[in-house]
Copies of this chain bind each other. A is one copy, B any other.
Amino acid sequence: MKLWLTLTAAALSFSTAANNLTFNDTLAYQLTESLTVEVGQRLAGSEADARAVAWAERTFKQLGFDKVWTEPFTMQYWERGQASLTVSEPFRQNLVVTALGGSVATPFDGISAQVAMFDSLEQLKAADQTLVKDKIVFINKSMEKDKLGSFYGSVVGARAQGAVEAAKLGAKAIIIRSVGTSINRFAHTGIMRYSDDVARIPAAAVSVPDAMQLARMLERQPELTLQLQMQNKLPGEVTSHNVIAEITGSKYPDEIVLIGAHLDSWDEGTGALDDGAGVGLVIATAALLKQQGRPQRTIRVVLFGNEEGGLVGARAYAAKHANNLNKHVFASESDFGAGRIWRLDTGFGEKSLAFAKALQQKLASYGVEAGNNTASGGPDVSVLKAQGVPVVSLQQDGTDYFDYHHTPNDTLDKIDPAALQQNLQVWLHTVSAVANSRYDLRK
């Protein structure tokens, strides 16, 4: 199959005035570069988040979108502070640590305690309180790799719920082995949760090499003392925004084909894989489709805010548009890095599976296989799926995604421009097919 843009690349190749974006098959990469270089990290609710929102509005306008607007939502702001984790004598040394998102600070002088090590969250839950009380819990569960990232679910519980479970047993703090698949010495952050009826204890992650190191130390000296010190801030409620833009449909303008990504990122990298690439892809898809001739249905690009804090922008979007979700004929999100798309999963009605099959056949030359009909559509879009919106997951090869996910190492250089071009071609075909079809994908 010809590349989507081959036919008209010459006609489309021009630059916008302000940031030299060029309408060609590198547009997704150009946008990802622009966002990660000119804004960098964009922690939800931060000053940088506001700059990212301004970047998005400006960029949509420059690219000729028909409508551009923002939708505010309120959120609890959390800010990382300095963190350190020190092993006591006789093996005195510092470990690489980072606060989990949402964690309270330690007292200024830190928390010193012996360590209670567990292989998993499940083992912690089953532990006797006497083993845990007044200790720092350490959950040392490793994560394996695969294309789908399917091991994430069985490991991330320690991050999300570990603090509550440890606090129930009287622990002073919790540290986890990073939810990640690399032996590079980066700690992986990510959101954690408290429960209103359980004490809020500090929660942090150590890098994989440091988790291995700590386990080796504890084997030699189980009485080891750790000192954890973190200065996170929780300033309270702030406002952030979803940024939304449309290419109005030529024939069915009230039928919304929603494509999304999340604009926010964790604060230590530049959010290139998570989710700058997704932002670049969905903006480029809509912009290039308009240039190809306006599609029949409306394409709405939604850049969700505060995905990392727990789909906060997505929930705000679903609430605000609750009365209009029946006009959302399709939704899909790109939020799994920048690896090649290798499978088409759908969440359609049974009668639309013929459409899915035809689409997959069109995508086969890009290496896209037929998948299942149980797609979530992506983290933010899953909120819309729960309200009945038909979805697609264009599954990316995420083998290396958790090497970088939520670390300082999530930077532009980790993106293979050729893989991102393949993504863009698949998105162009998919969104064009949906936006120019009459299928009711709910059926």
Q: What residues of chain A have their CB less than 8 Å away from a CB belonging to chain B? A: 33, 37-41, 47-48, 51, 90-93, 96, 183-186, 208-209, 212-213, 216-217, 220, 269-270, 408-409, 411-414
Flag if B413 contacts A209 (CB, 8 Å): yes
Q: How far apart are the CA atoms of A186 and B39 in the complex, in Å?
A: 21
Flag if B37 contacts A411 (CB, 8 Å): no
Q: What residue in chain B is nearest A407 (Cβ atoms)? A: B185
Most chain B CB within a 10 A radius of its CB, from A48, A269, A408, A414? A408
Residues of B within 8 A of A412 (CB): 209, 212-213
Q: What residue in chain B is nearest A212 (Cβ atoms)? A: B413
Neighbour of A93 across the interface among B40, B185, B208, B217, CB < 8 A = B40
Q: How far apart are the CA atoms of A153 and B413 in the complex, in Å?
A: 25
Residues of B within 8 A of A216 (CB): 33, 37
Flag if A48 contacts B413 (CB, 8 Å): no
Q: How far apart are the CA atoms of A209 and B413 in the complex, in Å?
A: 7
Given contacts A48-B92, A184-B184, A270-B93, contact A411 B38 (CB under 8 A): no
Flag if B41 contacts A409 (CB, 8 Å): no
Flag if A37 contacts B220 (CB, 8 Å): yes
Residues of B within 8 A of A91 (CB): 37-40
Residues of B within 8 A of A408 (CB): 96, 185
Flag if B213 contacts A183 (CB, 8 Å): no
Q: How far apart are the CA atoms of A70 and B402 in the complex, in Å?
A: 46
Q: What residue in chain B is nearest A20 (Cβ atoms)? A: B220
Q: How far apart are the CA atoms of A96 and B41 in the complex, in Å?
A: 13
Neighbour of A411 across the interface among B51, B185, B269, B413, CB < 8 A = B185
Q: How far apart are the CA atoms of A192 and B259 in the complex, in Å?
A: 51
Most chain B CB within a 10 A radius of its CB, from A37, A47, A90? A37
A331–chain B nearest beta-carbon distance, Å: 32
Task: Give 18 A-B pairs besides A37-B216, A96-B408 with Cβ atoms closer than 8 angstroms.
Answer: A33-B216, A37-B91, A37-B213, A37-B220, A38-B91, A41-B93, A48-B92, A51-B92, A93-B270, A183-B413, A183-B414, A184-B186, A184-B409, A185-B411, A209-B412, A209-B413, A213-B270, A213-B412
